[in-house]
Amino acid sequence: MTAIARLESTPLVTSEMTRLGGIDGVSGTSTQQGPEGTAGASPIDSFGAIFSSAIDQANRADLAAAQKVDALASGAADDIHGTMISVKEADISIKLVGTVRNKILDAFQELWRTSV
C-alpha cells in the first residue's frame, strides 16, 4: 500500500464534522482577476483547494519516483542518484501532507472540545 493510498483510506472528514452539517469554504477555487488583470491564485482561495493541490503534487511526485525506480530496476536507466533524490522528494512531500492533515484534525478536535 502506497503512502497516498494510506492517506486516502483515512477519512479527513470525521463523524463530528459530518454532524455539523459540513464544512463551509473547504472546497472550490477562485480564479478572479489579479491587480494586473491576470488570472491566478487570489486571497480568497479556499484551504481545501490549496490542500487538494498539495495532495495532487505529492501524488505526482510519488508516481514520478515509482517510474524512475521501475526504469532503474529494468535497466532502462542508470541514474541511481536521480532516482534516489526523486524517491526522497516524494517521501518528504507525502509526509508533509500527512502531517498537515493530522494537525488539521487535531485543531478541529480541540475546537470541538472547547466549550463556549
3 state DSSP class of 26: coil
Q: What is the mean pLDDT of residues 5-10?
A: 56
The count of C-alpha atoms lying within 13 angstroms of the C-alpha of 9, restricted to the half-sphere facing its C-beta, is 6
> In which band, very low, low, confident or very high, does the pLDDT at 98 lie, cut at 50, 70 and 90?
very high
Reported as a single tens digit per residue, the pLDDT across 38-64 is 455 556 678 889 999 999 999 999 999
Taking CA 64 as the corner, what is the angle to CA 62 and CA 66, rounded to the nearest 5 degrees?
70
Taking phi over 0 as left and psi of -120 to 50 as alpha, with beta for the rest, 34 belongs to: beta
Q: Is residue 7 within 8 Å of residue 98, measured between CB atoms? A: yes
| Amino acid identity at 110 | E
Q: What pTM was estimated for this model as a whole? A: 0.58
